[in-house]
Amino acid sequence: MVSFAGVNNTYEEVPDLAKKFINDASNETGQRPKSKVSRGTLVRTHQQHLKLLSEGSVPVRSLVLPKPYPPARGWFAATSTKTVHLGDLQIDSRDRSAVLLLRTVTAPYVWSSTVTVAEDETGDVTRLTVCNLEDNVVDPIVTEGAIVAVRQPCWTRLVDGGYHIRVDHPSDLVLLQPYDDLVPEAWKDDDGKASNGDAAQCKRDGDKMFLKKRFRQALELYTKGLQYVSTTPDSVVEIDLYRKRCGVSIVLLRLDDAAKDLSEAIASHARSTPDLSSSELADVSVVKSWLRSRSTEDSLHISSRIPRPLKELAVRIKFDIGINQTTPEYNFSVISAYVGPLTLHVDAANYLNDTEVRETGSHGRGIFAKKDFKEGDLICAEKAFVLPGYFMQDRNSDCLLYSLDDGTAASRPGAWLFKELVQKLRWNPSLRKEYFDMSDGGYWQEHGWELAGDEELPVDIFRVEYIRRLNCFSAPIRSSDLLNQPPNSNPELRNGFWTHGSYANHSCLPNSIRAFIGDLRFLRAARDIPAGEEITNQYVAPDIDIDERQEKLRTTWGFECDCQLCVTDGSVSRDTRKERLRQFEELKNTVMKLGEKGAPTITSLKKIARALREIEALYSLSSPEGQTGEDPYATLPRLALVHPTLFLTEAWRSVKNVDRTIEYGLKLLRNFGIVIRTEGGKLETVHNAGFVNVETVRALNYLAEGYTSRGEEQLAHQCREKARLWYIIITGSEVGAEQFFS
Ligand SMILES: C[S@@+](CC[C@H](N)C(=O)[O-])C[C@H]1O[C@@H](n2cnc3c(N)ncnc32)[C@H](O)[C@@H]1O
C-alpha cells in the first residue's frame, strides 16, 4: 500500500513490499483464493481510487515486472480457446490455453497500470489490473463496459491480502467487440456490426475526438466510417477516412497500420482518378512495398502523382520506418538547428552501408568495417528505433521500473524506454524481428519456445526489458551540449535504442566514438580503421581500477573486457595496483585542497609534479610479476595519471609557463594512450588508443596556444586542425565548433 497525502492508495504497488511478498507467499500457489470481496466493496474502493487519481493523490509512477513468464502462445482465435470463469482459476497457476471473458463495470483508473472492476458471465466480480498498456485517463483502452478476453488467467495475490486478475503481457488482453462470436449471449450486441450509416458523420466525429487527443475513439470512429463506405462507396470520404486513420496511427506509433491505411488511400485515389486508374498506384501492394522499401528511390514517381496531404504522410511514414542512404552526407547544421528538448526526431536517413554485422568469434556478433576509414570519418549513422521524447521538467513524466525477479530498478530514462519499446513492438509486427534478434542474455532460451515457420514473434515484456538493458544507450539531446555543461553537473540523459549500433562491442581501447544529434546516432573513427577490422566503442569510460571496471561491465552487460589495457592492468600485482590507487586518491585530495585555496604557487605545483612522477614510476615498474624488459604501458593509457596531469597542464597554463604547459599537455595525451611526436615542426600521432574526448581536445588547444607563444606556428596550426577533427569525432559534427574554440 502506498500512503500518499495521508490516504492509502492500494492500486499502486510498493516494489519492496511486493518483492518480499512474492518470495514469502508461495505456499498458496495452485489453490483457490480463501477470501472474496463483494461487488459493492470492489466498486466503492474503485470509486475512491478514481477520486484519488483526479485529485492527483498518486505517487511516482512505478512499473513493476513480476517473476518472468511468457505470454500465451499463438493467435487468439475463438475456435481454439478454452473459456473459463473466475471460479475456475487458481492462484499463480496459469493454464496457457484458457481464456477468461470479462466485462468491465467501472471506468478505469490509469496510472502505473490500468485498474478496473470486471464481472464474468456468471456475475462473479474481480479487480482487473492490466500492466504495460500505453493508455492514459483521457484516452483509456479498457473503457467502462468493455468486453475483454484475458489469456492464461490466474489469481494473483495482493499485499493487502486480496486477489486480482493481473495481465502483464499486452497480448494476453484481447479487446472484443460486442458482436464477436466469442462474446456470451447475455452480453451480445449486434448493433455495432451494422454496415449502413453516415460515413461522413463518422469522419467529423472522429476529427473531434482527434482534436481532444482521444486517439483511440477517433480510430474507432474512422473504422466505423470505413465499414459504412465499404457498402456505400464514396471515394472522397474513403480516401479521407484512410488518411485520417493513418494520421492517428502515426501519433500512436502504429506504423504498420499507418502504412496499410496510406496504401489504401493512395490506391483509392488512383482508382478514382482517370489518369491513374489503370496505373500501378491502384495496386495497394505496390504502394505498400514502396512505403516500406527503406529507400528514397521512387521509380514509379508515386510521390509526384499523389495529392500533397498523402505525400506528406508518405514522407513521415518512410522516415519513421527508416530510410537508408548509401553515402555519409548529412546537412549537420540543419539537423542540429532543428533539434531541441521537445523535437528529438529528425528527418534523416540511416547510413549503414559501409559496415556489416557478423560473428566476431569471441564476443558474439559485432560490427565490422567494409572499407577503410580515416580518423574522423563517419562510420555509420542511424535514427533511433525508439528514443522517448518526454519533457524532463514535467513531474508527470517521473517513472520507475522495477524487476522483482532480480531486484533491479531502472530510473525514468530506462522506464520510459521500456514503455515505448513495448508499445512500438506491440503495434508493429514488421519491426519485431530486428529488435528480438538482439541479445537478451539467454532469457528466451530459458522461458520461450522455438517459433514455428510462420508464427508471429510474441512481445514478451520480460524479454523486451532484458534486451533493453543489454543494448540501450544513454543519449543527450546533442553531444555538443555536454561540452558546455559545468563540471559535475550530471545532466539527466535519455535512454534510447539504436538497432545497428547495438551490435558494436565494447573495448576500453575503442576505434570509434559515438555521438548524438537528436535521435540520430553517429559513430566516427577515433583513428584510422582498415577494412575488415571490428568497430568497437566504450560502453562506459573505464574506471582506473581494473576490478571496479570489470565488475561494472559484468553486472551491467554480463561480460569481462579482454582488451589490451584490461589484460595489462590485470597482470600487474595487486599490491602495485593498490598503491597506484592509494597515491592517486591522495594526490586528488591535495589537488582539490589546492583548488580551494585559489591560484597555486609554483612550489605547490612542483610538489604535485613530484607526486605524479611517483605514480608514473608505479607504471614503469609494472611489468608482469617476475618479468623484466619492455614497458607494458609504452602505448597504453595510464589512467591514474590522467587527472593530476590535466590539473598540472591547466595550472601551468594559468601561471603562463608555456614550456611546462606544452610538456604537460603532451603528457596528458600520452596518459590517455595518445603518443604524439613533434620533431621538425611536424605533429605526428605515433599511437592512438582511442581515448578521444573533451580533455584531449582541450589538451590540443593548450598545446596550440603554447606553440603559438613560442612562435612555432606550424605546430600550433596542426594542433588546432587536430582539435577540430576530434571535436567533430566527439560531437558528431562541426556545428558549435566556433563557439567551443573561442
Ligand atoms: C550491445 S551488445 C553487443 C552485440 C552482441 N555481441 C551481440 O552478439 O548481440 C552487448 C553484449 O555483447 C557482448 N559484449 C560486448 N562487448 C564485449 C567484450 N568486449 N567482450 C565480451 N563480450 C562483449 C556482451 O554479451 C554484451 O552483453
Do 476 and 578 lie in a common domain? no
Q: Domain check: are 498 and 614 in the same one?
A: no
Tell me, what's the pLDDT at 26? 65
Mean pLDDT confidence for 701-728: 97
For residue 39 and ligand 1, the question of a CB distance below 6 A is answered with: no
Query: Both 494 and 558 in a single domain?
Result: yes
Q: What are 172's three cell numbers? A: 494476453
Cell output for 417: 524506454
Task: Say if residue 29 is in the same domain as residue 128.
Answer: yes
Q: How wide is the angle at C-alpha 355 spanned by C-alphas 349 and 356, nearest 5°?
A: 110
Same domain, yes or no: 579 and 504: no
Among 175, 192, 209, give the residue marking a domain's end. Answer: 192
503 lines ligand 1 (CB under 6 A): yes
Judge if the beta carbon of residue 731 lies within 6 A of ligand 1.
no
**Is pLDDT of 311 > 90?**
yes
How far is Cα 199 from Cα 225, in angstroms, rounded to an integer? 4
CA–centroid distance, 470 to ligand 1, in Å, is 8
Same-domain check for residues 30 and 160: yes
Could you read off the pLDDT of 28-48 as tens digits, one per residue? Answer: 889 999 888 999 999 999 999
Q: What is the pLDDT of residue 390?
A: 84
How far does the centroid of ligand 1 lie from the alpha carbon of residue 363, in Å?
A: 6
Residue 477 belongs to a domain? yes
Measured in angstroms, how far is the CA atom of residue 441 from the centroid of ligand 1? 10
Note the pLDDT tens digit of each residue in 375-409: 999 999 999 999 999 888 788 889 999 999 999 99
* The amino acid at 282: A
Report whether 205 contacts 221 (CB < 8 A): yes
Judge whether 454 lies within some domain: no
**Structural domain containing residue 166:** 2-192
Judge if the beta carbon of residue 498 lies within 6 A of ligand 1: no
693 lines ligand 1 (CB under 6 A): no
Residue 80 pLDDT exceeds 80: no
For residue 621, the model assigns a pLDDT of 63
When pLDDT is cut at 50, 70 and 90, the band that residue 78 belongs to is: low
User: What ligand 1 atom has the least distance to the C-alpha of 437?
Assistant: 9
Report CA(714)–ligand 1 centroid distance (Å): 43
Nearest atom, ligand 1, residue 360 CA: 6
Which CATH number fits the domain that encloses residue 103? 2.40.50.140
pLDDT at 6: 47
Residue 306 belongs to some domain of the structure: yes
pLDDT > 90? residue 301: yes
- Which residue, among 444, 425, 447, 404, has the nearest Cα to 69 in the 3D structure? 447
Domain of residue 389, CATH code = 2.170.270.10
Instruction: Decide if 625 contacts 573 (C-beta within 8 A).
Output: yes
Mark whether 301 and 401 lie in a shared domain: no
Expressed in angstroms and rounded, the spacing between residue 367 Cα and the centre of ligand 1 is 11
Residue percentage of the chain with pLDDT more than 70: 96
Map 263-279 to HEC letters: HHHHHHHHHCCCCCCCC
Question: What is the pTM (predicted TM-score) of this model?
Answer: 0.94
503 Cα nearest atom in ligand 1: 4
**120 CA to centre of ligand 1 in angstroms:** 48
505 alpha carbon – ligand 1 mean position (Å): 5
Nearest residue (by CA) to ligand 1, atom 15, is 505
Mean pLDDT over 573-594 rounds to: 93
Last residue of a domain, one of 161, 192, 223: 192
DSSP letter for each residue of 475-535 = E-SBHHHHHTSPTT--PPPEEEB-TTGGGPEE-SS-SEEEEEETTEEEEEESS-B-TTPEE
Lowest mean pLDDT segment, chosen from 78-87, 270-279, 507-516: 78-87
- Say whether pLDDT at 622 is over 60: no
In a domain, 381, yes or no: yes
**What is the grid cell recorded at 510?**
575503442
Q: How far is the CA of 364 from the centre of ligand 1 (A)?
A: 6
Residue 363 CB-density burial (10 A; 0-12 exposed, 13-18 middle, 19+ buried): middle
Q: Tell whether ligand 1 has an atom less than 6 A from the beta carbon of residue 502.
A: yes
On the question of pLDDT at 4 being above 50, the answer is no
**For 17-26, 174-183, 626-635, 656-665, which range has the lowest pLDDT when averaged over its residues?**
17-26
Distance 498 CA to ligand 1 centre (A): 15
Does 268 reside within a domain? yes
> Do both 151 and 232 map to the same domain?
no
Whether the CB of 497 sits within 6 Å of ligand 1:
no
Work out which ligand 1 atom sits closest to the CA atom of 439.
Answer: 9
Give yes or no: residues 101 and 219 share one domain: no
Distance between CA atoms of 409 and 399, rounded to whole angstroms? 11
Kindly state whether residues 140 and 222 are assigned to the same domain.
no
Range with lowest mean pLDDT among 286-295, 357-366, 417-426, 593-602: 593-602
Give domain status of residue 413, yes or no: no
Mean pLDDT along residues 561-584:
96
Is 438 a pocket residue for ligand 1 (Cβ < 6 Å)?
A: yes
Ligand 1 contact via 558 beta carbon (within 6 Å): yes
Confirm whether 730 is domain-assigned.
yes
- Where residue 291 sits, what CATH number does that domain have? 1.25.40
The angle at the Cα of 586, spanning 581 to 588, to the nearest 5 degrees, equals: 95
Q: How many angstroms does the Cα of residue 534 sit away from the middle of ligand 1? A: 12
Closest CA to 671 of 653, 705, 648: 648
C-beta of 470 in contact with ligand 1 (< 6 A): yes
- The reply to whether ligand 1 has any atom less than 6 angstroms from the CB of 649 is no
Q: Cα(413) to centroid of ligand 1, in Å?
A: 22
Are 526 and 601 contained in the same domain?
no
Q: Can you give the pLDDT at residue 453?
A: 86
Helix (H, G, I), strand (E, B) or coil at 223: helix
Work out which ligand 1 atom sits closest to the CA atom of 507.
19
pLDDT range class, residue 342, cuts 50, 70, 90: confident
Q: What is the pLDDT of residue 1?
A: 45
C-alpha cell at 589: 585530495
Question: Is any ligand 1 atom within 6 A of the Cβ of residue 216?
Answer: no
Q: Is residue 567 within 6 Å of ligand 1 at its C-beta?
A: no
Q: Does residue 282 come out as left (phi exceeding 0), alpha (psi in the -120 to 50 range) or beta?
A: alpha
Residue 101 lies in a domain: yes
Query: Of 270, 299, 321, which one is at a domain's C-terminal end?
Result: 321
Number of domains present in the structure of the chain: 4
Q: Which of 132-146, 237-251, 622-636, 655-669 has the lowest mean pLDDT?
A: 622-636
The answer to whether residues 279 and 340 belong to one domain is: no
